[in-house]
Chains A and B, each alone.
Chain A
Amino acid sequence: MSPLRDLQRDFQRYVTQRDDAMRNQVVDTAQVSAETRLAIYADGYRLRLLEALEDTYPALKQYLGESRFTAAGLAYIDAHPSTYPSIRWFGDCMAAFLRSDASPCDEPVVAELAAFEWSLRGAFDDADQAVTTLEDIAAIPPEEWPVMHITLHPSVRRLDLQWNTTSIWNALEDGATPEPPEQGEYPTPYVIWRHELQQYFRSLPVDEAWALDQAATGMAFGDLCEGLCEWVDAEHVATRAAGFLQQWTVDGLVCAVATS
């Protein structure tokens, strides 16, 4: 083991766990003790990562308030040290952490709020891709529609939310007091995406959510129609599926259409 690696391990353990093996490896100055000098790094570490979490989860912070957010953030920092070159990814496990026994928050809605904000953050800087237009769709000959399939924009994400999470998020965004958390009888499907640099989200009827999930896997339009018969009469199913496709295209969810 190199002395350099030993030193870095000791210092990292000090910063992350306040392990005291570093104490004798740092000199005091006339004004400042080694403890104080070392603490600059340990304190800075937590402050910096807390700031990163605040940046990623502004609504979660507002919902929890300063002290509960700090408690949750510090617990997360201890449980999930960063392994990413960019601090932008540091909060990736926050929703799972808030659902776990290690979380100091016992309100289930906060984990959903974190999952929702992480999805918005992901849509923000996911890959760019030119979107398909209604003209592109119209150019597909009708006889090829049964085998037509689409590719969704890289920013498209799906979430099923159990709570009134988006109402709470909207209120926090507007600076209003959010309504109390309320669990729905069934989960509500949501789609989140970016179009022309702006993130969007909307709830989906259950048949549209199913169709979007299947379309994401490359299912052909004919098979989508067949599957949608579970919710829609056979005579109306093609209109319903075409309506979805039109809406997804107009909204910028679709970036390719093909028949082979």
Chain B
Amino acid sequence: MTAATTSDKRPYLGFGLGLRTDHYEEILARRPKVDWFEIISENYMVAGGKPLYYLDRIREHYPMVMHGVSMSIGGADSLDRDYLHQLKALAERVQPHWISDHLCWTGVDGKNLHDLMPLPYTEEAIQHVAKRVAEVQDYLERPFLLENVSSYVTYTRSQLSEWEFLTAVAEEADCHILLDINNIYVSAFNHGFEPREYIDRIPIERVYQFHLAGHTNHGDYIIDTHDHPVIDPVWELFAYAARRFGPVSTMIERDDNIPPLDELLTELVQAQAIAEPIYAEAAA
């Protein structure tokens, strides 16, 4: 796999994986054909030891992006300055192509639920998040992406669809989007909307990255567990997104029930086999 650059200004890194501790040694020993790795920022906000040792060594061989889970960009509390300071320091070390976090809140009144809590799709929330994204971008001085989360509730006070909300925030804040294809599938199932309509309504130029992942289907609802392979309907949705957005840096995100590296590489090859003919056809 070779990373290329799109004809427009959107950087294209190719096909990546989430960096997980189980694979550290194997990555260094084998140098698998992965175009880039995404790290969970919080896992490396430590003083030293193994996490930073392996991070530095793997970074020597692979481009990286940073993905956070605790910025709470939609939280009602003030932005956590200490957290942002640590994030910026880590970015200095990693020199990522970009930094991302989720369009959500993670706690209030100083607490952290360690979950990606959905925001109400309201004008108040759009203005609140957009103002904070501007602060974050000014401080980090790097491209910043917001990711759509899976959600299990619909608030009575929401006035917009999820895609209208995501688009409005990204436009108002002038930031980029990390589009999680599995999360669109999960939320579409849970809330009863058409996932392709979601994809059709997201502004093309803002999408810098795709996430692909597995989930757990409980029959009446789906939970975004990241502990299974990507399922066929999500691959189909990915193909649909590849047609709309063109070359977008794509990665497999597995957070639990971590399989051998080869299994993830096989999934990554599948992503490549789906997307590259679509990109080639569009370019022809």
Binding site for B on A (CB under 8 A): 2-5, 7-9, 11-12, 15-16, 24-27, 29-32, 34, 36-38, 40-41, 44-45, 48-49, 52, 81-88, 90, 123-129, 154-155, 194, 197
Contact = CB atoms under 8 A, between A and B. Distances in A.
Nearest to A34: B153
Given A85-B45, A88-B42, A126-B47, A41 B108 contact: no
B220 A31 contact: yes
Given A9-B108, A29-B190, A155-B49, 7 more contacts: A26-B156, A27-B156, A37-B221, A82-B107, A85-B70, A85-B83, A123-B49
B153 A38 contact: yes
Interface in B114-144: 114-115, 117, 119-120, 122, 124-125, 128
Interface string B84-127: 00100000000000000000010111111111010110101100
Given A31-B220, A41-B115, A82-B114, A125 B109 contact: no
Interface string B40-54: 001101111111110
User: For chain B, what secondary structure do more than half of its interface residues adopt (helix, strand, loop), or is it mixed?
Assistant: loop
Interface string B55-93: 000000000000000100011100010010010000000
A26 B53 contact: no
Q: Give the interface residue-count category, chain B.
A: 35 or more
A87 B114 contact: yes
Interface of B: 42-43, 45-53, 70, 74-76, 80, 83, 86, 105, 107-115, 117, 119-120, 122, 124-125, 128, 152-157, 190-192, 220-221, 223
A85 B155 contact: no
A86 B50 contact: no
B112 A83 contact: yes
Contacts of A15: 113, 115
- Chain A CB within 10 Å — which of B114, B128, B155, B156 has the most? B114
